[in-house]
């Protein structure tokens, strides 16, 4: 039986999502794209999940699109290239962008290679924790292409315009340490998996509703007008004031107690 190209392991409040083609450096296939969407949808339905770790099995996070596997099926490529009329993403963009839309924090743990579609997937996460010797590249320039799996939006949010253009135009390969200097990686750690768990511990001290609403607020107002941002602030705050987890946070704070949060109620 063929192993799935994406594995999901849910252990209490933590979901681990593994890219599962270690012998191919987790090169992206149609099956992997479908698996990423299915994994995100499963996690979204499970309101007990508080955080996601997105990782690659084997020595690499993801070396990008498996051209040899994908480009032999031109009909499927064409079909997936067409945008969804309501979502606005196509079949290559949605499997990555869906992690941006997930109402829980997503942490990409990267080692080895983060190339092409791999860097775009990492950019869809809320945080990227990398080993120092990890190799990163917006690799599409090498093949005469442009990044087209949603990665240009978060890249443009993270780095200055001239740096984004240089990385996209040249396909420069840079280390995990340099990724942090550029502002692409959130943290460098010899053991990025351990660092991810430490970050999750801090996140779980806060209300899951507040964390979800904060992610949405910051993502949606980054490029909005002030008026729109203020309107969304008010709407989300009204939702928080009705949340049972907000009441628990207030109780724990007043009583100097450890909060005992219930499942996430906010979407």
Write the CB contacts of 58 (distance below 8 Å, at least 6 apart in sequence).
Answer: 22, 23, 25, 26, 112
CA quadruple 217, 220, 224, 230: dihedral, nearest 10: -20
Structure confidence by residue, pLDDT tens digits, 7-22: 999 999 999 999 999 9
pLDDT of residue 86: 84
Give, to the nearest 10 degrees, the angle between helix 30-45 and helix 74-81: 40
pLDDT of residue 1: 59
Full-model pTM: 0.95
What are the structural domain ranges in the chain?
6-203, 208-255
Q: Is residue 211 within 8 Å of residue 199, measured between CB atoms? A: no
The CATH number corresponding to 6-203 among 3.40.1160.10, 2.160.20.10, 3.30.70.270, 3.90.226.10 equals: 3.90.226.10
Structure confidence by residue, pLDDT tens digits, 145-185: 999 999 999 999 999 999 999 999 999 999 999 999 999 99
Position 267 confidence tier, pLDDT thresholds 50, 70, 90: confident
Q: Is the pLDDT of residue 205 over 80?
A: yes
């Amino acid at each position: 039986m063929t192993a799935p190209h994406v594995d999901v392991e849910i252990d209490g409040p933590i979901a681990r999502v593994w890219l599962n083609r270690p012998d191919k450096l987790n090169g992206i296939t149609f099956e992997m794209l479908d698996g990423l969407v299915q994994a995100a949808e499963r996690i979204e339905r499970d309101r007990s999940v508080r955080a996601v770790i997105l990782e690659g099995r084997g020595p690499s996070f993801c070396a990008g699109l498996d051209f040899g596997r994908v480009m032999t099926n031109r009909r499927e490529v064409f079909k997936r290239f067409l945008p969804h009329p309501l979502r606005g993403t196509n079949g290559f963009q949605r499997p990555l962008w869906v992690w941006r839309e997930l109402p829980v924090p997503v942490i990409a743990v990267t080692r080895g290679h983060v190339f092409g579609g791999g860097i775009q997937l990492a950019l869809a996460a809320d945080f990227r924790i990398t080993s120092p010797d990890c190799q990163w590249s917006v690799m599409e320039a090498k093949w005469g292409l442009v990044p087209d799996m949603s990665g240009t939006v978060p890249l443009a949010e993270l780095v200055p315009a001239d740096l984004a253009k240089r990385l996209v135009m040249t396909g420069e390969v840079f280390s995990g340490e340099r990724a942090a200097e550029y502002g692409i990686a959130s943290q460098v750690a010899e053991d990025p998996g351990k660092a991810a768990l430490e970050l999750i511990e801090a996140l779980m001290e806060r209300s899951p509703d507040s964390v979800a609403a904060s992610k949405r607020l910051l993502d949606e107002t980054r490029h909005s007008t002030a008026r729109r941002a203020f309107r969304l602030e008010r709407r989300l705050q009204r939702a928080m004031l009705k949340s049972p987890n907000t009441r628990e946070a207030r109780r724990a704070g007043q009583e100097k107690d450890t909060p005992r949060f219930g499942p996430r109620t906010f979407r």
